[in-house]
Structure 1
Amino acid sequence: MDVLYFYTMKSLDKKNEEKRGGEGEAGNADTGFFTPNDKIDFSNVKIEPLFKETVDFETFSKSDFRAVKVKDCVAVPKSKKLLQFTLDDGTGKDRTILSGIHEFYEPEELVGKTLIAITNLPPRAMMGIESCGMLLSAVNNLKDSEGEELHLIIVDNHIPA
């Protein structure tokens, strides 16, 4: 007797789903999958106008975008905004980047994540610490308030530094 298997993208096994952490934000953190767009309320987001000035391809292609692994992240003493990242950028030498995102993230939740950084910016000293690059993020300016949400560009952990 021949057996036919039908593969699906959705788990048919409740135990498997519980093992992964179920649906929702907590379960998504370990699997690398994110909340579907239809489950997010975008009605409160204000869209900013696009830049009118263009950048030619040659200028853009000079930017060195890298997947970086967060080895360590700590709050910078005497700063309310800055986080200091120790990153693996794939070169074998740790890279330090400072980012003013402490309002949006706690350091311990970022350790182990894979982020995207521009690594060939000139070093910049902040609070006496040299920052060698910039982490990419997206900002939502909220319509009903003067606040904003910031989200680091976090990619699948299977992507190597």
Structure 2
Amino acid sequence: MKSLDSSASKKADGKAEGAQTAGDNNGFFTPNSKIDFSNVKIEPLFEEAVDFETFSKSDFRAVKVKECVAVPKSKKLLQFTLDDGTGTDRTILSGIHAYYEPEELVGKTLIAITNLPPRAMMGIESCGMLLSAVCEENGEEKLNLLMVDNHIPAGAKLY
């Protein structure tokens, strides 16, 4: 993930300070006491309620990133090859390249909604959507892809 702190320095080996490897949970979560939320603006909650039956039709699953590459001729799109627990790779495209470099995401466990109808983007069929948290900080949009503990197996259903 690209640093939210614009003053973050890089070490001599080119890795950002505090960079984590795919299997490293050390420092995975930053305590709220160490994050300044004073300049963060979030969207208001929806006033319209969704009934439980409608919500329960959404299939949220843990997915493991097997491969992630930038989509040629696109500044925004990343193409993910995911293990969704079915034994067949799932492809999902996500417009998050401004926030993440592909190699940072390989090996991560993410959350996806898997029962959306396929949608073609840049000639590639995307079969689902990865979930992210979005907010505004100091007038700039921030996006954080939802990542969960790597001990959660591919295909685990979220309730």
Structure 2 counterparts to residues 92-111 of structure 1, below 5 A: 92-111=87-106
Query: Where does structure 2 lack aligned partners over 5 or more consecutive residues?
Result: 1-16, 155-159
CA–CA distance in structure 2, aligned partners of residues 62 and 112 of structure 1: 28
CA–CA distance in structure 1, aligned partners of residues 40 and 111 of structure 2: 23
Change beyond 3 A, Cα 1:81–1:27: closer
Match for residue 47 of structure 2 among 45, 48, 52: 52
Match for residue 38 of structure 1 among 33, 42, 55: 33
**Secondary structure of the corresponding residue to residue 90 of structure 1:** coil
CA–CA distance in structure 1, aligned partners of residues 21 and 101 of structure 2: 18
Question: Which is bigger in relative contact order (C-alpha 8 A, separation at least 6)?
Answer: 2
Alignment partner, residue 115 of structure 1: 110
- The structure richer in helix per residue is 1
- The alignment status of 1:66 with 2:32, answered yes or no, reads no
- The alignment status of 1:150 with 2:143, answered yes or no, reads yes
**Secondary structure of the corresponding residue to residue 53 of structure 2:** helix
**Secondary structure of the corresponding residue to residue 31 of structure 1:** coil
**Secondary structure of the corresponding residue to residue 70 of structure 1:** strand
Give the structure with higher Rg (CA). Answer: 1
Q: Deviations 1:9-53 (Å, cap 9, x if unpaired)?
A: xxxxxxxxxxxxxxx833696126311110011111012211111
CA–CA distance in structure 2, aligned partners of residues 28 and 35 of structure 1: 16
**Secondary structure of the corresponding residue to residue 125 of structure 2:** strand
Q: Percent identity?
A: 83
CA–CA distance in structure 1, aligned partners of residues 49 and 123 of structure 2: 34
- 8 Å contact kept, 1:25–1:34: no
Aligned-partner residue type, residue 59 of structure 2: D
Match for residue 141 of structure 1 among 128, 136, 140: 136
Alignment partner, residue 84 of structure 1: 79
Change beyond 3 A, Cα 1:103–1:36: same
4+ aligned runs moved over 6 Å, structure 1: none
**What TM-score, normalized by structure 2, do the two folds share?**
0.81
Count residues in correspondence. Answer: 136
CA–CA distance in structure 2, aligned partners of residues 44 and 28 of structure 1: 29
Match for residue 75 of structure 1 among 70, 73, 82: 70
Change beyond 3 A, Cα 1:120–1:27: closer
Query: Where does structure 1 lack aligned partners over 5 or more consecutive residues?
Result: 1-23
